[in-house]
Structure 1
Amino acid sequence: MKQTQQYLFPLIIIAFVFFIIGFGVGINGIMVPILEGTFSLSKGMSYLVLASTFSAFLMFGIPAGWVIKRIGYKKSLLVALCIMSAGMFLFILSARMSTSIAGFYMFLVASFIGGIGNTLLQTGINPYVTICGPLEKAAQRMCMMGIMNQSAWFLGPIFLSLFIDIKNPIIANANIPFGIAGGVIALLAVCIYFLPLPEVKAEGETDEQIEDVNHKEAIAKANAKTSIWEFPHLLLGAVALFLYVGVETLPMASVIDFANVIGVDDPARYSAIGPIGMITGYVVSIFVLQVMRQNRALALFALLALVMSLLVVFLPAARAIYCVAGLGFAHSIMWGCLWALTINNLGKFTKPASSLLVVVMVGGAVIPVLFGFILDIVKRVGPVTPCDYQEAYIIFVPCYLYILFYALSGHRIGR
């Protein structure tokens, strides 16, 4: 109980940071159809918006780990929030250049800079939440953080839609919302500067006494290794996380465009489908993880995601779009469980492993862009149809099959 109270205030601060991350990525989702219409882009080109954000994880994931090791969690959060704020202000410049294709490329630059800040945030806050309390409850804490993240994810597009009409976008109108967003993020950085945020360490990073004999033995074996590449369960988990971030990002980013193709009156409101499913799933997951081990819960939700992905592909489009909520529900437990299973008992390698896991979040760039180019390939002559989208969504299936494999057996390999 004392330990829970000790970490309560830092976790509240981190929850607000998760909200900011969700808001930033959510805005990118609504910008995909807006930029496509403004600059007459192909589907593959329009999804480069997400690629520019998530490619920062590939380039700066490892350096972000070095930064955190050198200056600590709190200062890293401040630097990250300032970078994200700068990215938001750069969006204003790109909006003013909307009369030429240079505006699109400037938007990619702004997204990439925001992605650098996001990378530094993710490198710090995910292991921080995992370490702040018992590891067997880490997935539950991640679920609580996810509620904040997903609440912001669908508020971002709704907020931006107040200023920009998706069906007839005028991107120059983005000046005000991006200015407000940049200012709020900068204000959060100022607040965190004056708030206490203690440094934490994973078990085995220092010489503290570990009471559980089996756990102590596992940490000792981990510390005897020479690099993170000697942990098969970590490497397999990194692949699972790569695929997960991709399949989590894809429906959130594409659902507005999918709704627009179906022909609904207000496509922006469909941005809430996935996050509402995830928020509901997070609440349910907190209770599920009270009675079920993390790997079994992950397997159960991976099966659910597999079923929902098949429904998205084969149901009539007007009904299939609502199955995105089912995907969101299934995704809710995956992030926390994958992190907890992957960095379990790594001892002194916890922070380097966390950097690796942040690098593989580039899956959020690769899978949506791959989806965009698949959509270009399967597209019939003429405009894109809902059926084209559904055929391209088949990319979900192999990803969920691998996550299911990791939940059932992959997380135990090499232990």
Structure 2
Amino acid sequence: MPSVVSSTTAGEKHGPQTGVRYGPALTLLASLFFMWGFITVINNTLLPHLRSVFDLTYTQTTLIESVWFVAYFVASIPSAKLIERIGYQKSLVAGLLVMAAGSMGMMLAASIPSYGVTLFMLFVIASGITLLQVAANPYVVVVGSPETASSRLNLVQAMNSAGTMLAPLFGAYLILGRSKGGTSASGTVLTDAERLADAQSVILPYGLVAAALIVLAVIIARFPLPAMGTANARLPKDERKKLSLWHHRNLVFGVPAIFIYLIAEIGVANLFVNFVSRPDIANLTHEHAGRYLTILWGGMMVGRFAGSAIMQRYDAAKVLAVFSIGAFVVMMITVFASGPVAMWSLILVGLFHSIMFPTIFTLGIKGLGPLTEEGSGLLVMAIAGGALVIVQGWLADTYGLQNSFLLTAACELYVLFYALWGSKPTNALIDPAPAVAQPDSTSQ
């Protein structure tokens, strides 16, 4: 196949140079993962806040979460096309600026205040994060040795988890802690003046977020990020027609693996507080239950650091299989146990979920060569699976909250199937070539 030969040649010509250090680039990229994890989890603070400000029904409140994940579905393929046109570095800068624009739009929405404008601006922020995801994830995969790609992505994804840990504290202090609705007893009726004041409490935190994003965009625009190498370069149209994403089993089964995993992750996070607050589980207030949710996110961070180290020595697919078995076991304990045992088993699933997204992503784009950008776009689009958390909500209403976690257990089994069989590459073009030590020419 001509394209395979040309890609291999390119990879040989542009292999890693002696003495090249990728640490500074990975450190900078880790800050991106931190920021989008941080901003995503601020939503968990916004949901009760906006429900109070706009006097929303539960349907209107859950629409906020759905709009966020729908953005991944809508923006992923356009993001991949944009990366093909302007390159990775400019796309990273564009993603940060789109997020900054959405954050400033949230300040506008709070000033009006407007539920509709809020939904639109959250969609804008999520679209910017989608562009970062499509650009940054594959970049981390190919910026070094293919053998340690999963280890690298788990390492920087650990910074994403660090952001998810700190965001609830930030939101609780600067949003809930500065609002009447956030500090009043449940059921307190707010006056129109109090609702307006509460809405405006969002202005300061989102102003700080917008400023941080703009500063980071300037730094990345001026940073000499290494180029990805020509093994992953976009092919001419006539050669591209000979290739198909659907010939790669690891991608074909990887897209539903990401989709199904997100159902599990978001379902656990959204229903955690309600579950552990039950009298037969831990009998906690929502406030105290929220503190235990921080431990769950912390487990994800610890698991990613540990997974990064483990994958330096062991095959990524085998590690994924072990973690998926662990996740299945603790979810079954959650379903059939009670009291603190059920609570702590649900907390432990964060540890086992930790490596799933970055490892599935890395395995999914393995061997795609010049199709890497498009494959990355499909995998990020699959994050829209988080919007189907409503399915678990229906199961909880129909069959009981504890029984609804059987859906999560079923999701873990699909991840196990992917690790053992679905992730095996077919028709591999070439493993992504390590980046060369020169600036990305498309960003100059």
**TM-score bin (small chain):** 0.7 to 0.9
* Residue ranges of structure 1 left out of the alignment (5+ in a row): 208-221, 379-387
Asked if 1 retains the 8 angstrom alpha-carbon contact of 2:154 and 2:359, the reply is: no
Aligned equivalent of 1:73, options 88, 96, 112: 88
Greater C-alpha Rg: 2
Instruction: Name the counterpart of 1:16.
Output: 31
Aligned equivalent of 1:228, options 245, 255, 258: 245
Aligned equivalent of 1:89, options 104, 107, 116: 104
1:91–1:259 distance in 2 versus 1, CA, 3 Å: farther
Instruction: Name the counterpart of 1:159.
Output: 170
Equivalent position SS for 1:226: coil
Q: Give the deviation of 1:54 after TM superposition.
A: 1.6
Instruction: Name the counterpart of 2:208.
Output: 180
Q: Give the deviation of 1:278 after TM superposition.
A: 0.9
- Encode CA deviations 1:132-179: one digit per residue, 9 max, x unaligned: 112221111011112210011121111010031446494442222122
Q: Give the deviation of 1:303 after TM superposition.
A: 0.7
Instruction: Name the counterpart of 1:59.
Output: 74
Instruction: Name the counterpart of 2:413.
Output: 401
Q: Give the deviation of 1:332 after TM superposition.
A: 1.7
2:274 and 2:57 map into 1 onto residues whose CA distance is 13
Instruction: Name the counterpart of 2:435.
Output: none
Instruction: Name the counterpart of 2:62.
Output: 47
Q: Give the deviation of 1:109 after TM superposition.
A: 1.4
Range with greater deviation from structure 2 (72-81 or 225-234): 225-234
Equivalent positions of 1:299-310 (< 5 A) are 299-310=321-332
1:314–1:96 distance in 2 versus 1, CA, 3 Å: farther
Equivalent positions of 1:4-403 (< 5 A) are 5-97=20-112, 103-163=114-174, 164-165=176-177, 166=182, 168=184, 170-201=198-229, 203=231, 205=233, 225-256=242-273, 258=275, 262-316=284-338, 318-366=340-388, 368-378=389-399, 388-403=400-415
Question: What residue identity is the alignment partner of 1:83?
Answer: V
Equivalent pairs counted in the alignment come to 387
1:285–1:91 distance in 2 versus 1, CA, 3 Å: same
- Encode CA deviations 1:237-293: one digit per residue, 9 max, x unaligned: 111011123322333344345556742444443341222111111122123213321
Question: What residue identity is the alignment partner of 2:318?
Answer: R
Equivalent position SS for 2:223: coil
Range with greater deviation from structure 2 (346-355 or 224-233): 224-233
Range with greater deviation from structure 2 (345-354 or 225-234): 225-234
1:97–1:372 distance in 2 versus 1, CA, 3 Å: farther
Q: Identity of counterpart residues, as a percentage? A: 30
1:202–1:239 distance in 2 versus 1, CA, 3 Å: farther
Question: What residue identity is the alignment partner of 2:231?
Answer: E
Asked if 2 retains the 8 angstrom alpha-carbon contact of 1:56 and 1:116, the reply is: yes
Asked if 2 retains the 8 angstrom alpha-carbon contact of 1:81 and 1:186, the reply is: yes
1:44 and 1:299 map into 2 onto residues whose CA distance is 36
1:128 and 1:105 map into 2 onto residues whose CA distance is 35
1:256 and 1:90 map into 2 onto residues whose CA distance is 30
2:207 and 2:217 map into 1 onto residues whose CA distance is 16
1:149 and 1:32 map into 2 onto residues whose CA distance is 21
Question: What residue identity is the alignment partner of 2:410?
Answer: P
Range with greater deviation from structure 2 (187-196 or 107-116): 187-196
2:252 and 2:328 map into 1 onto residues whose CA distance is 23
1:171 and 1:392 map into 2 onto residues whose CA distance is 34
Q: Give the deviation of 1:85 after TM superposition.
A: 1.2
2:167 and 2:310 map into 1 onto residues whose CA distance is 29
Question: What residue identity is the alignment partner of 1:176?
Answer: L
Q: Give the deviation of 1:342 after TM superposition.
A: 1.3
1:336 and 1:295 map into 2 onto residues whose CA distance is 12
2:391 and 2:220 map into 1 onto residues whose CA distance is 38
2:78 and 2:292 map into 1 onto residues whose CA distance is 37
1:375 and 1:94 map into 2 onto residues whose CA distance is 33
Range with greater deviation from structure 2 (54-63 or 310-319): 310-319
1:172 and 1:268 map into 2 onto residues whose CA distance is 24
1:3 and 1:375 map into 2 onto residues whose CA distance is 57
Instruction: Name the counterpart of 2:13.
Output: none
Asked if 2 retains the 8 angstrom alpha-carbon contact of 1:202 and 1:350, the reply is: no
Equivalent position SS for 1:107: helix
* Residue ranges of structure 2 left out of the alignment (5+ in a row): 1-15, 187-197, 279-283, 428-444
Q: Give the deviation of 1:95 after TM superposition.
A: 3.2
2:18 and 2:379 map into 1 onto residues whose CA distance is 27
Root-mean-square deviation over aligned CA pairs? 2.7
Asked if 2 retains the 8 angstrom alpha-carbon contact of 1:44 and 1:370, the reply is: no
Asked if 2 retains the 8 angstrom alpha-carbon contact of 1:131 and 1:202, the reply is: no
When normalised by structure 2's length, the TM-score is 0.79
